[in-house]
Structure 1
C-alpha cells in the first residue's frame, strides 16, 4: 500500500483584529477564503480527521489530492469567518476544542481571545465540521501528573459528548506536545486518533496517535501556502520552526527532570 503523504493544515484564530496573544497564529478572513479557493481550484479533496484515520485504518483508498483543514482551541472566528468559506466550497473540517476555554457553563476563563459558545459549536457540527478534543484547560500534557492527564482527557470528552450528543473520536495535543505516556492515555480514554504538529506531511506510517500537521499563520503568504499544500519545500519552509522545537525540547526535558527529582525528594 502506498504511503500517501497528506497535508493537514493547522489553523487557530481566523480574525480581522486578533489580540497580541493570538496574532501570530491567526489568519485574516480574507487570507483564509483565498486559501480555500486555492484548494478548490487545485482539486484538493478535504477530509475530516476521522475520515482520514478510517481510510488508513481500514486500507480504503484515499480520494485524489486529500487534505485536512483543522482548527485548534475554539476561537469565535471559526464560526463567523471560516464557516462561510468552508460552506462555499462544501469543505468539511475538524475543530479541536479546549472545553474549559469555550463560553458557557464550563468556562474557566482561560481563553486567549473571543471564544466560541456551545450553540456555535453545534452549528459547526451540523455544517459538517468534526468536533474533536483538545483537553479541558490546554496544559502541556506531557508535563502533568497521571491524574491530571486523565482528567484533562476524560473531562473534555464528557463535556463534548454532553453538549453535542456524540462522543469525540479525534484529539489534538495542546501545543503539539505528547509523549509515549500521553499517547497511551489518549488511546486508553477512547480517542481513536490524535494529531501532533511536527510541521511535516502526515503519513500512515506515523501511526494514528502521532499524525503531523503544518502550521498556517498570519505570515503565510499565498505562494508559501501553495507550496505547502503541494508538498514543495516543506523542510525549508519550516526549518526555523524545527530548530526552535528541538532546542525547546531539551529545555522542557530538563525542567521535567528537575520536577521529578523535587517530587522524589519531597
Structure 2
C-alpha cells in the first residue's frame, strides 16, 4: 500500500510539473509571437519651462524610456511600422514607435541624448517655417541632421502649422484645397532637400483633420497621423493613424504603463448620428450638433466596452442595432474625444479606441486656441 501511495504521489508531482512547464511554454511563445499592431507615442516639449499641456519633464521622459528598455519592448522605426502597414506583415511583439511634433529645441537637448544612449529609433515631425525664421525655441537644420545620423527620422508637419480644416475669410473650396496641398508638399520638398532619407508621413497640426483633409493627404500619397489615442492595428485608416499624446496631465508612470501596453480595439465599423438620429459622415460636427451618439461594431462581440467623454462615462442606450454611447452633457466648441476601452484576457491590458470630434462655435466661427 505504501508503495502504491508513493507511486500516486510521484505521478501527481510529474503531472504538476508538466502543467507548469506547459504554462511557461505558452507564456514564452505568447511573449515572442509576432503581432499586427504597434503603440505610437507622441511628445512635444521635453522641458520644465514650456507650456504644461504639451510638455513632458526630462525626468519623466527618461522614466518612460527606461520602462521600455527594462520591460522588453521593441522600439521600431516609423519606417518599419509603415512598411508593415504596406505589406501587412507582422511586427515584433510589444512594438512601440516614438514620435515628436514641431521640432522643438528641447527634443535635441533633453530627449535625443536619452534616445541615443538607448539606441532607440525615433521620428520628429517638423513644421519648416520656424527653421527658416531661425526661431530659438526650435532646432536648427544642423541639429536635425545630427539626429538623422543617430536613428532619427524627419517627417512632415506642414510649413506654418495651420488649422488645416479652417478656411480663410472669403476663401473658396478650391483655393482652400490648394493652400492645404501646398502646406504639405512645400514642407516635404524642403525636408527632402535637407536630409538623406525621409518618408511620406504627415502629422496633422493640432491633431485636426476631417474627411476633406484626409482626401488631400491620400491624393498626394501620404500616411497621416492624428492625436486621437489608441494602439494602431494593421487595419488602421492610413490617413487617421492614432497616437498616444503625452504632456500635462498625461504621462504619469501608471498612465504611461497602461497606454504602452494597450491593444487596438477590433473595431470594424463606427456609426455616428446626431441627437435626432441623422447620420454624421464626419467627426467635424455641424455647429448645432451638441450630443453626437456613437455605435461600434467589433469583430469580437464578447468584449465589455466602456466609453468616456467630456463629463465622464458615456451612457449606454440599447437598440436592435446594438449599443449606442451617449454623452451626459453637451460638447463644448473645440477638440474632444470619446475614449473606449475593454479589458483583455491579460490582467492590466486593455483594448483601446478613440473617436475624435471637432466642434465649431454655435455661429459656425472657429474657437481660439
Q: Shorter-chain TM-score: what band?
A: 0.7 to 0.9
Q: Kindly state the Cα deviation for residue 254 of structure 1 after the two structures are TM-superposed.
A: 6.3
| Residue pair 1:132, 1:171 contacting (<8 A) in 2 also | yes
* Aligned partner of 1:45 among 70, 74, 99: 74
Residue equivalent to 2:254: 223
| Residue pair 2:208, 2:226 contacting (<8 A) in 1 also | yes
* Aligned partner of 2:187 among 151, 156, 169: 156
Q: SS at the partner of 2:82?
A: helix
Residue equivalent to 1:195: 225
Distance 1:187 1:252, change over 3 A: farther
Q: Kindly state the Cα deviation for residue 114 of structure 1 after the two structures are TM-superposed.
A: 0.8
Considering only CA atoms, is the larger Rg found in Structure 1 or Structure 2?
Answer: 2
Higher strand share: 2
Residue equivalent to 1:24: 53
Between Structure 1 and Structure 2, how many residues are aligned?
Answer: 245
Residue equivalent to 1:262: none
Unaligned segments of structure 2, at least 5 residues:
1-33, 168-175, 266-304, 313-330, 338-355
Higher helix share: 1
Q: Displaced runs of 4+ in structure 1, greater than 3 A?
A: 2-5, 165-168, 234-244
Q: Deviations over 1:24-59 (max 9, x none)?
A: 111111111111000111111112222111112112
* Aligned partner of 1:12 among 44, 51, 70: 44
| Residue pair 1:14, 1:77 contacting (<8 A) in 2 also | yes
Unaligned segments of structure 1, at least 5 residues:
258-266
- Backbone CA RMSD of aligned residues: 2.9
Q: How does 1:174-213 map to 2 (within 5 A)?
A: 174-191=205-222, 193-213=223-243
| Distance across 1 between alignment mates of 2:152 and 2:122 | 5
Is residue 161 of structure 2 the alignment partner of residue 138 of structure 1?
yes
Q: TM-score, normalised by structure 2?
A: 0.60
| Residue pair 2:38, 2:232 contacting (<8 A) in 1 also | yes
| Distance across 2 between alignment mates of 1:213 and 1:181 | 21
Residue equivalent to 1:101: 130
Distance 1:225 1:238, change over 3 A: farther
Q: TM-score, normalised by structure 1?
A: 0.82
More RCO (CA 8 Å, sep 6+): 1
Q: Deviations over 1:126-159 (max 9, x none)?
A: 1111111000000111224112101101111111
